[in-house]
Amino acid sequence: MRYLLDTSALLAHFRQEAGWDIVQALFETDDAELIIASVSLTEFGRRLRELGATEIEIEEVFVAYQLLFSDVVSIDTLVAKTAFVIGCRTPQRLPLIDALIAAVAQTRTAILVHRDDHMRAIPPELLGQQELPPHSHG
């Protein structure tokens, strides 16, 4: 089974927040193939920066995580067009980066793993999803 981790799932895992154990179990499952969209690296890095990490620390985290993924998928024409269609068919506003990440999941026939309200709004017939528990703001 192929899974695409959304930035929110990657962040939950890194910070050991609600749902991180589900992501860890995927990393440890032999027959699970984990992929990530290249734009998630940018989004993840920006979030780590907001949390106080230095560029060098963020680069080290990137290197460590990239070893866990079988592929970092770039945004190509097919993904861009698929993101447009997903955005059009999602009843709520879907931010561009979320549409691109969802499109990578759809074009690679991967289950999207996330904890993102925007992603939840994507109709299930467009994309298989595994939702993590919400982040507790405690």
pLDDT by residue (tens digit) across 14-53?
A: 999 999 999 999 999 999 999 999 999 999 999 999 999 9
Number of Cβ atoms within 10 Å of the Cβ of 38: 15
pLDDT by residue (tens digit) across 67-112?
A: 999 999 999 999 999 999 999 999 999 999 999 999 999 999 999 9
Rounded to an integer, the average pLDDT of 119-134 is 96
Domain locations along the chain: 2-131
Q: Look up the CATH superfamily of 2-131.
A: 5'-nuclease (3.40.50.1010)
Q: Which residues contact 114 (CB under 8 A, 6 or more apart)?
A: 5, 6, 8, 9, 120, 129, 130, 131, 132
User: pLDDT-based confidence at 137, cuts 50/70/90?
Assistant: low
Number of Cβ atoms within 10 Å of the Cβ of 57: 12
